[in-house]
Structure 1
Amino acid sequence: MQRKKLVNHLNEFLKPFQIKDYCPNGLQVEGKTEIRKVITGVTASQALIDAAIEKQADAILVHHGYFWKGEDQTVTGMKKRRLQALLAHDINLLAYHLPLDVHPEVGNNAQLGKLLGLTTERPLEPWNSNSVAVKGKLSEPMSATDFAALIEQKLGRKPLLNQSGDHLIRTIAWCTGGGQSFIDLAASQGIDAYLTGEASEQTIHSSNEQQIHFFAAGHHATERYGAKALGEYLATQFDLDVEFVDIDNPV
């Protein structure tokens, strides 16, 4: 299909114009006009680019792309090598950051909730329809240790668990990736547990002092599912060969 048609469809589907972000969303590096093979992944790392080259992809679609606010604007070193590889092989790079976090169907939060059997009720920030954190509940109450075991089973990695008290988890808030700062907002709403990808030093104190269980399951591990689901959606809509490539990252 034509690149322009694909980009227009993704922009209409994900609506990046509604969200203030830290990077450009959509087409970041222009490649071939005609797209048949698409590689999806979490981050546009050199390893993912190399995989796309090997698989003769026309486009890469990721959650973490390039040109972040505040980064060095010079095209040198790692950035030069990545861009050089994309341009030399005429590969398009498309990236959607926050729009892919918040999408109600293929978004990272929605997909993680689905994987763990969580019901989404509303944004954690009720005043913000594009909140990157959400509030929901478990289908059945569960202990913190049992929920940690469920995360390990579903994500294939053992999460960091800070158990605060012995209360069961009925309500839960979550934000994939680096969403640890939302723990205080979750605690202020009386939520039983908070799940995200990363932890900061102060996160554990917040968990302990506000009696809210905390789980950090990995930035990469919690955000595998949005780009994969988005690619699967595109394959149902268009005549595209779409393949998800997971470049593992322990963080």
Structure 2
Amino acid sequence: MERSVLGQYLADFLQTGKFKDYAPNGLQIEGKAEIQIIVTGVTACQALIERAIELKADAILVHHGFFWKNEPDVLVGMKQRRIKSLLAHDINLFGYHLPLDAHPVVGNNATLGRRMGILDAEAFEAVGDGLLWGGSLDTALSGEAFAGLLAKVLGREPLHIDADKPVQRLAWCTGGAQDYIDLAVSLGVDAFISGEVSERTFHSAKEQGIHYFAAGHHATERYGIEALGEHLRREFGLTHHFVDIDNPV
């Protein structure tokens, strides 16, 4: 598959033009023109790049790529080593941040909702960016029982700030989305899930009587990029390897 064709397909499929993002979405590092083997992973770290080299990848697709706003422009140290490895092996790097969070089928929020067994999972219309999702459990659970479900789904114990009510109606946003908690409260849910947590999140949850679960930035965002790679495998016959570089954060 030609690199330009893949890039255009992904721009259309993920609707990258709808988002004002913190990093460029699409091709970030140019490699070979023809792509047959793709590797997907959450973050374009050195370990992922080295594994892609071993797998003879033509392209890497990630959620967290390079060239974030307000980071230094110079290519030195860690960034230089990563980019040097990609260029030396002629590997393309594609990064998709907010478009992958919001996508209704392969997005981080959509795939997390399916794994949690949420009914009618969808983005809240009241939130225009499509990043805050909601839905319901078939049967209400205690906070402790829902924490156990999350631990089973994600393979890590979530931080749980408890509330005095069962969990049935939920809101969630993967990654560093803890500050959506007040908006989640206004939408009348029993619990809010994000990846990261801040000191202030504890007080917001306690004072407003909502369950809060910090389930891990990496853990909540593993499934979208994998689903995107599988979509490309099915659509275009590409060879796809999802590589999960363990990250406890």
Q: Give the TM-score category using the shorter length.
A: over 0.9
Amino acid at match of 1:20: K
| 1:56 matched residue in structure 2 | 56
Q: 2:23 aligns to what?
A: 23
Gaps in structure 1 of 5+ consecutive residues: none
Alpha carbons 1:136, 1:173 under 8 Å: kept = yes
**Cα offset, 1:139, TM superposition:** 1.5
Equivalence map 1:102-121=2 (5 Å): 102-120=102-120
On the 8 A contact 2:113/2:121 being kept in 1, the answer is: no
Deviations 1:195-222 (A, max 9, x none): 0101100001000000000001100000
Q: Is the 8 Å Cα contact of residues 120 and 134 (structure 1) preserved in structure 2?
A: no
- Which residue does 1:150 correspond to in 2? 149
Q: How big is each residue's C-alpha offset from its partner over 1:111-163, in whole Å with a ceiling of 9 and x where there is no partner?
A: 000000013455346151x3211121112111111000001111111100010
Give distance in 1, aligned partners of 2:125 and 2:198: 21
Identity percentage over the alignment?
55
- The equivalent of 1:82 in structure 2 is 82
Give the Cα–Cα distance (whole angstroms) in 2 for the partners of residues 45 and 127 of structure 1: 32
Listed one character per residue, the Cα deviations across residues 47-70 of structure 1 (whole Å, up to 9, x for unaligned) are 000000111110000000000011
In structure 2, which of residues 204, 224, 234 is the aligned counterpart of residue 226 of structure 1?
Answer: 224
Deviations 1:5-56 (A, max 9, x none): 1111111100110111101000000000011110000000000000001111
Partner of 1:136: 135
Alpha-carbon distance change, 120 to 77 in structure 1, aligned in 2, over 3 angstroms: farther
Report runs of 4+ in structure 1 exceeding 6 Å deviation: none
Asked whether the 8 Å contact 1:192–1:213 carries over to 2, the reply is: yes
The aligned residue for residue 159 of structure 1 is 158
Residue 125 of structure 1 contacts residue 133 of structure 1 at CA under 8 Å; is this kept in 2? no
> Aligned pair count?
249
Match of 2:73 in 1: 73
Q: How far apart are residue 191 of structure 1 and its match?
A: 1.1
Q: Deviations over 1:58-109 (max 9, x none)?
A: 0000000000011011110001000000000000000100000000000000
What one-letter code is carried by the residue in structure 1 that aligns with 2:191?
A
SS class of match (1:49) = helix
C-alpha separation in 1, matches of 2:209 and 2:124? 18
- State the match for 2:46 in structure 1: 46
Whole-Å Cα distance in 2 between the matches of residues 123 and 5 of structure 1? 29
Assess if the C-alpha contact under 8 Å between 1:164 and 1:212 holds in 2: yes
1:189 aligns with 2:187: yes
User: What amino acid is aligned across from residue 69 of structure 1 in structure 2?
Assistant: K
Q: What is the rounded CA distance, in whole Å, between the counterparts of 2:172 and 2:107 in structure 1?
A: 13
Q: Which residue of 1 aligns with 2:9?
A: 9
Calculate the TM-score normalised by the size of structure 2. Answer: 0.98
Q: C-alpha distance in 1, partners of 2:32/2:238? A: 14
Q: Is the 8 A contact 2:121 2:136 kept in 1?
A: yes
Change (3 A) 1:111 1:127: closer
Q: Please give the TM-score of this superposition, normalised by the length of structure 1.
A: 0.97
Cα offset for 1:170? Answer: 1.7
